[in-house]
Amino acid sequence: MVGQRALRRPPGLLLLTSFCLLHLGAAGQPDEEVASIQGVRGSSVELACGSQPAPLVVFWSFIPLGSLIPWPVAVTNGAESKVEAGASALGAVSLRNSSLVLGELRESARGHFLCQALHEAGGQLRTTYSHFSLTVLVPVSKPQVRLSEPSPVEGTFVVATCAVREGTEPVIFAWQHQAPQGPGETLVGVTERLFRLDPVNRMHLGWYVCSAHNAVNRLSSDEAFLDVIYGPDDPVITVEPPHFTEEGFWASEKEEVTLSCLAASNPPSHYVWLRDHSQVHTGPTYTITRTSRAHAGLYTCLAHNSRLDTHTQTTVQLTIYYPPEGQPSCAVLPTLGAVTLVCTWPGGLPAAPLQWEGPQGTGPAALSNVTWSHAATQLANSSVFTCTGQHPALALLALCRITLWEPLQRPTCRTMATTGDQFIMLSCEWPGGEPPALLSWLDGQQQPLGSSSSSLAVHVLQAQEDLAGREFICRGTHPLRVPDAHCRLQLEAPQLAVAEPWVSVLEGGEAWLACALLGGMPPAQLLWLGPQHLPVEPGLSGFMLHHEGTRLRLGIQAADPAHHGGTYHCVAHNTLGSSSQSVQLEVLRYPAPPNVTIRSLTYGRHRREVQLQWAIRGPGNWTGFLVQRRAGVPGPGAGAWETAAGDIEPESRTRRLGGLDPGVLYAFRVLALNHHTTGHPSEVKIPADSPFSAYPAVLGAAGTGMVVATVASLLVFQYAARHPETFPCIETPSTIPGSDPAQESMDVPVNVTITVTATP
Ligand SMILES: *[C@@H]1O[C@H](CO)[C@@H](O)[C@H](O)[C@H]1NC(C)=O
Ligand SMILES: *[C@@H]1O[C@H](CO)[C@@H](O)[C@H](O)[C@H]1NC(C)=O
Ligand SMILES: *[C@@H]1O[C@H](CO)[C@@H](O)[C@H](O)[C@H]1NC(C)=O
Ligand SMILES: *[C@@H]1O[C@H](CO)[C@@H](O)[C@H](O)[C@H]1NC(C)=O
Ligand SMILES: *[C@@H]1O[C@H](CO)[C@@H](O)[C@H](O)[C@H]1NC(C)=O
């Protein structure tokens, strides 16, 4: 239409145009063919007309598509050419010799072009016609993706359109999709201008590009993003480190645990963590840096899509595992014919599996507590059994071991009486061993007495005499010992023997009485009874007790016929009875020494000393002499005899005695000694004045001094009589062989002789 209005008929060409039309209308296309030419808008095409030789005149006309009216376009005669001004509606039209050049081709140039060329040949004019049918192709414009809804909710639909402003049909479309994290662009497989995603889903999310092409060109659109809104899906919870239980997850106490939640959603989910219904964290990952048992529980991950305001949630159980305390503990219980191995490791979550292993292979397994009854046969001494415990919260195995060993030797049987001798205790001991040996008491008929016990078995019997002779057996059983080991004992009253039934000792000597226990069960106590039937206690002065194994020896020092001679009894006693043996101790005196007579007794100077001479009369042995003096006048009221000099050597026959009170009148006598035996005293004599030492004046004072001396002597005697042990040598005169009381008639009031004195 534009072309029609723009093409105005140029007057100079009217004739020619008519001619052409005439020709066309009359003859159609008598000898010409129509050339189909395609041009692209904006580019140029050249329509060549005529052939050699060069035509005289060339005339180009144009018939727009759908019209029958030709329009003149250009004419040339070779020298000059003319292009119709209105031809610019077709593009930049020019002539190149006889060819019509259409530059910057416009769509209005679509239609028929006719070239009429006038030739001269052989003087004749000849006309040739060239027909062109020109098609103007339009390139496709840059397409644009249009989405009916750029952010559709998953499940609705969306229509994608590839909009192309222009372009010669047929225009072919191609769609490409690029998912955000996808592997690359993928061809959608739609060749249409639009496609419908119904229902749209998350897989459709991403960038879309459409491209359009026709015969001329191909252009692609910019990317358009289809943001499919969806989710959140049900969250998926993962735990690091990943430990699974039937209900959920577990983590070791004190380790770090990270709970991660992922719920697919667009826009991405907001996460909230709950533990047992209270919020503990927001965000997709929740890290517990050091778990404790309090962290166990139900963990819920809440996912929220803020755009849709939709929620989903998932709950998992987190269990905190912790191992049992310490190590497994191994024990072995003694059982008849078998060993019962017990391994326990209580506590922990979950309970720890325990497994026994022995020298002959593996044993039973169980949780926390496993018992293995193992036959004792063919177990060597020092067999090792191991119990191994595992726990998921422990990297290493935990174990305990037990070594079964057999105690050495055999049980030991003993008896003991309780204090008061009411009961007899049988005790049997067999220490050591793993397990410890089982001990039990049997009577003589092998009947058990009470139950068995480990390592030590005690049986108590009421003490009765009819138990004497009864036999008891202690049986020790140990799983590694075949056959059983025994010890036995027989109850019996004690028996004893003395070394010598008759012992004699010289006066003053040391005697030993020995007694030995020969048997008796329970073991008896030994005891010595003295001549007065009183027990000899250790520490009693003059006695010594020596225990030597089963022997008890009694020593008597400084044997004294009066106190020590007589019958001693050795007594043995246990709960079943007692026995005793006697020993006769004879304390022998030394032979009596010879008689002594005083040769002379004279005062020394100032009557403070005397000079004594004596002589032996008769046969006999002696070991020394003793001089005694007595203050006072002979007769009643005289003092007691006191030693003036002891320990006089047997060779001496003379002695000077000092320390006398000149006012006192003294009497003297001499005795010979054979060891402890004193002889008869000599006659009593009063010293005589030597011719130059008489002091009669002093005699007047004698009475007072004599009284004092007598009292002092009496006190000494009384003390000595009450404490005979400290005065072993106080003797009654009657025990002195050969003594004659008649000789003592001078000393009637004091009927004793003091041979050794000590002042209290
Ligand atoms: C136009 O014609 C002239 C003379 O006939 C010739 O020399 C020239 O090459 C032709 N031009 C073209 C483009 O054919
Ligand atoms: C071990 O198990 C036995 C029985 O199977 C039971 O008698 C004993 O008490 C248990 N010991 C512990 C520590 O659980
Ligand atoms: C068994 O072995 C242990 C050492 O492992 C040892 O002490 C014990 O005396 C042995 N018993 C016997 C009966 O050899
Ligand atoms: C010794 O003296 C006593 C008494 O004085 C007397 O009986 C005895 O016969 C005397 N012995 C000798 C051997 O003279
Ligand atoms: C004196 O002792 C000796 C030996 O010690 C003895 O042989 C002798 O018989 C004794 N004399 C008297 C009288 O006892």
Per-residue pLDDT of 36-91, as tens digits, reads 999 999 999 998 886 667 788 889 999 998 888 999 999 988 788 889 988 888 99
608 part of a folded domain: yes
Q: How many Å apart are CA 41 and CA 46, to the nearest integer?
A: 13
At residue 431, the pLDDT reads 92
At residue 183, the pLDDT reads 79
Counted domains in the chain: 7
Q: How many Å apart are CA 179 and CA 106, to the nearest integer?
A: 42
Among 104, 122, 137, which residue terminates a domain? 137
Q: How many Å apart are CA 587 and CA 565, to the nearest integer?
A: 5
At residue 129, the pLDDT reads 87
Q: How many Å apart are CA 284 and CA 302, to the nearest integer?
A: 10
How many angstroms is it from 405 CA to the middle of ligand 2?
24
> Which ligand 1 atom lies nearest to the CA of residue 54?
5
Which ligand has an atom closest to residue 650 CA? 5
At residue 4, the pLDDT reads 36
Q: Are residues 468 and 501 in the same domain?
A: no
First and final CA of the chain: distance in angstroms? 179
505 part of a folded domain: yes
Q: Tens of pLDDT along 640-692?
A: 899 989 889 999 999 999 888 888 889 999 999 998 888 899 999 999 887 65
At residue 31, the pLDDT reads 47
At residue 50, the pLDDT reads 66
Angle formed at CA 40 by CA 115 and CA 111, multiple of 5 degrees: 40
Q: For the chain, how big is the Rg over CA atoms in Å?
A: 77
Q: Are residues 538 and 584 in the same domain?
A: yes
Mean pLDDT of 279-289: 95
E-assigned strand segments in 470-510: 471-478, 481-490, 492-498, 502-506
At residue 288, the pLDDT reads 95
At residue 78, the pLDDT reads 79
Question: The domain that contains 189 carries what CATH number?
Answer: 2.60.40.10
Residue 15 is classified by DSSP as: H
At residue 16, the pLDDT reads 38
Task: Give the residue whose CA is nearest to atom 9 of ligand 3.
Answer: 408
Which ligand has an atom closest to residue 52 CA? 1
Mean pLDDT of 339-360: 93
Sort strands 124-137 and 34-40 into parallel, antiparallel or unpaired.
parallel
Would you place residue 756 in the very low, low, confident or very high pLDDT band (cuts 50, 70, 90)?
very low
Which helix (H) or strand (E) is 363 found in, with range? strand 361-367
Q: Look up residue 453 and give its amino acid.
A: S
Three-state DSSP state, 709 = helix
Q: Are residues 165 and 281 in the same domain?
A: no
Per-residue pLDDT at 712 exceeds 50: no
How many angstroms is it from 432 CA to the middle of ligand 2?
26
Site to substitute for ligand 4 among 595, 596, 740, most atoms within 8 A of C-beta: 595
Q: How many Å apart are CA 523 and CA 518, to the nearest integer?
A: 10
At residue 462, the pLDDT reads 86
The answer, yes or no, to whether any atom of ligand 3 lies below 6 A from the CB of 51, is no
Q: Are residues 567 and 511 in the same domain?
A: yes
Parent domain of 218: 144-226
What are phi and psi for residue 721, nearest 5 degrees? -70, -35
Q: Are residues 111 and 48 in the same domain?
A: yes
Q: Are residues 13 and 116 in the same domain?
A: yes
DSSP 16-84: HHHHHHHHHHHHSSSS--EEEEEEETTS-EEE----SSPPSEEEEEEEETT----EEEEEE-SS-EEE-
Q: Look up residue 125 and give its amino acid.
A: L
At residue 635, the pLDDT reads 65
Interacting residues of 407 by C-beta distance below 8 A, sequence separation 6+: 430, 431, 432, 433, 436, 437, 476, 478, 481
Are the C-beta atoms of 603 and 610 separated by less than 8 Å?
Answer: yes
Residue 289 is classified by DSSP as: S
Average pLDDT score, the chain: 83
Q: Are residues 70 and 14 in the same domain?
A: yes
Q: Are residues 31 and 130 in the same domain?
A: yes
At residue 24, the pLDDT reads 40
Q: Are residues 204 and 287 in the same domain?
A: no
Question: Structure tokens of 467?
Answer: 């138990």
Highest mean pLDDT: which of 7-21, 153-167, 189-203? Answer: 153-167
At residue 710, the pLDDT reads 41
At residue 241, the pLDDT reads 92
Q: Are residues 29 and 92 in the same domain?
A: yes
Please give the residue that has the higher pLDDT: either 3 or 283. Answer: 283
Among 588, 614, 632, which residue terminates a domain? 588
188 part of a folded domain: yes
Site to substitute for ligand 5 among 588, 589, 621, 677, most atoms within 8 A of C-beta: 621
Per-residue pLDDT at 299 exceeds 80: yes
Q: Are residues 476 and 501 in the same domain?
A: no
Are the C-beta atoms of 185 and 201 separated by less than 8 Å?
Answer: no
Q: Tens of pLDDT along 542-591?
A: 899 999 888 999 999 988 888 899 999 999 988 888 899 999 999 988 88
Question: Structure tokens of 68?
Answer: 């029958």
Q: Tens of pLDDT along 714-723?
A: 444 444 444 4
Q: Tens of pLDDT along 490-528?
A: 888 889 999 899 999 998 889 999 999 988 888 888 889
604 part of a folded domain: yes
Angle formed at CA 652 by CA 647 and CA 655, multiple of 5 degrees: 80
Would you place residue 372 in the very low, low, confident or very high pLDDT band (cuts 50, 70, 90)?
very high
Per-residue pLDDT at 729 exceeds 60: no
Of the ranges 346-350, 399-403, 559-563, which one carries the lowest mean pLDDT score? 559-563
At residue 634, the pLDDT reads 62
At residue 744, the pLDDT reads 36
Are the C-beta atoms of 452 and 439 separated by less than 8 Å?
Answer: yes
What are phi and psi for residue 263, nearest 5 degrees? -125, 115
Question: Structure tokens of 405?
Answer: 């060993």
Residue 308: how many other CB atoms lie within 10 Å: 16
679 part of a folded domain: no
The answer, yes or no, to whether any atom of ligand 1 lies below 6 A from the CB of 54, is yes
Would you place residue 755 in the very low, low, confident or very high pLDDT band (cuts 50, 70, 90)?
very low
> Which ligand 4 atom lies nearest to the CA of residue 680?
2
Would you place residue 12 in the very low, low, confident or very high pLDDT band (cuts 50, 70, 90)?
very low
Site to substitute for ligand 3 among 379, 382, 482, most atoms within 8 A of C-beta: 382
59 part of a folded domain: yes
Mean pLDDT of 176-182: 87
Query: Which pTM value belongs to this model?
Result: 0.55
The answer, yes or no, to whether any atom of ligand 2 lies below 6 A from the CB of 344, is yes
Interacting residues of 514 by C-beta distance below 8 A, sequence separation 6+: 498, 499, 500, 551, 552, 553, 554
Q: How many Å apart are CA 760 and CA 721, to the nearest integer?
A: 12
Residue with tokens 């008489």: 694
What are phi and psi for residue 8, nearest 5 degrees? -105, 145
Find the length of the chain: 760
At residue 746, the pLDDT reads 38
649 part of a folded domain: yes
Are the C-beta atoms of 285 and 273 separated by less than 8 Å?
Answer: no
The answer, yes or no, to whether any atom of ligand 4 lies below 6 A from the CB of 740, is yes
At residue 287, the pLDDT reads 96
DSSP bridge pairs for 603: 610
At residue 677, the pLDDT reads 86
Mean pLDDT of 402-430: 89
The answer, yes or no, to whether any atom of ligand 4 lies below 6 A from the CB of 595, is yes
Q: How many Å apart are CA 369 and CA 342, to the nearest integer?
A: 7
Q: Are residues 423 and 463 in the same domain?
A: yes
At residue 639, the pLDDT reads 80
Mean pLDDT of 586-604: 91
**Residue 241: is the preceding peptide bond cis (ω within 30°)?**
yes
Among 490, 525, 550, which residue terminates a domain? 490
Would you place residue 747 in the very low, low, confident or very high pLDDT band (cuts 50, 70, 90)?
very low
Query: In percent, how much of the chain has pLDDT > 90?
Result: 50
Q: Tens of pLDDT along 691-707?
A: 654 444 344 334 334 43
How many angstroms is it from 433 CA to the middle of ligand 3?
8
Per-residue pLDDT at 733 exceeds 60: no
329 part of a folded domain: no
Interacting residues of 155 by C-beta distance below 8 A, sequence separation 6+: 199, 200, 201
How many angstroms is it from 397 CA to the middle of ligand 3?
29
